[in-house]
Amino acid sequence: MERGVALFQTDYSVEPAHLARLAEERDFESLFFVEHTHIPVSRETPRPGGGELPRQYWHLYDPFVALSFAAAATERIKIGTGVCLAIEHDPIVLAKATASLDRLSGGRFLFGVGAGWNREEMRNHGTDPRRRFSMLRERVEAIKTIWTEEEAEYHGEFVDFGPIWSWPKPVQKPHPPVIVGGTGEKVLDRVLAYGDEWIPNRIESVEQLHERVERLRDRAGRHVKVSFFGAKPEAPAVERLAWAGVDRCVFYVSPDADPGEAERQLDSFAALA
């Protein structure tokens, strides 16, 4: 099983480039940064995990800027969004940013995408929360078209543009993997419709996850790669996820950890290999 790490890359956390170097030195396969453009002060949407929303959510560096620093400081480790809230981006601009990052990193970019959970946040971007999954699909499809076609065009309800030229194109062929996040009832449909891989992050049980992974792969007729975000850094938990069919375990480094503590956490994660 591949091992990755993730971080809420805040302005008080270990610096992205430093964490990337530490992770690569310990042979982690991948590094993921998260995204929230902002958090509205007046908030009604409950946090998915329950409890109060910690300050890390509104202290985040832009993930693409942070990933560019991580890529420049490393040579091998894959760098990804876990996840990019594509409904909060213009798809033409996002296609260029992601293709640029893939090209400048030498083909190491992993495009994790999601529709998000904070309804107030997406409304500030002009997105109707009730239509966010339809919008996500169109934006991802449009981005893939721009990545792969010399004269790209897309015509949908939310995204509509005639033939355009847009370079650079990604190094990875046919394009960087699109990793669809979420655990909702219809998430497998979304992975099959416009994704390459799946990122669940909350599960009722390992048995349920195993059943969903098997169902996904049966429907796809291929081995769909599955990453689990927020894996417990405990050997029995990792072994259970492997039994469920997970291909990549991603462990969170604490956003409050200083560089020394971040290094100690990475050492403990690496010892599980």
Q: What pLDDT, in 10s, does the model give residues 168-217?
A: 999 999 999 999 999 999 999 999 999 999 999 989 899 999 999 999 99
Q: What is the pLDDT of residue 273?
A: 62
Peptide bond just before 246 cis, omega within 30 deg: no
Q: Measure the CA–CA gap between 112 and 129, rounded to whole angstroms.
A: 20
Angle at 151 between CA 149 and CA 154, to 5 degrees: 80
Q: Measure the CA–CA gap between 9 and 61, rounded to whole angstroms.
A: 6
Mean pLDDT of the chain: 97
Q: What is the pLDDT of residue 43?
A: 82
* Residue with the larger pLDDT of the pair 273 and 97: 97
Mean pLDDT calculated for residue range 4-16 = 98
Q: What pLDDT, in 10s, does the model give residues 41-96?
A: 988 899 988 889 999 999 999 999 999 999 999 999 999 999 999 999 999 999 99
Q: Which residues of 61-82 are buried (b: 16+ CB within 10 A; e: fewer)?
A: bebbebbbbbbebbeebbbbbb
Q: Measure the CA–CA gap between 62 and 204, rounded to whole angstroms.
A: 31
Q: Which residues are CB-neighbours of 118 under 8 A, at least 6 positions away?
A: 36, 39, 40, 43, 45
Phi and psi of 116, rounded to 5°?
Answer: 85, 170
Mean pLDDT calculated for residue range 250-269 = 98
Going by C-alpha positions, the residue among 25, 30, 32, 39 that lies closest to residue 9 is 32
DSSP code per residue over 23-78: HHHTT-SEEEE---S---SS--SPPTT-SPPPGGGGSBPPHHHHHHHHHHT-SS-E
- For residue 228, list its beta bridge partners: 249
If DSSP codes are grouped into helix, strand and coil, which group holds residue 195?
A: coil
Asked whether the whole model's pTM tops 0.75, one would answer yes
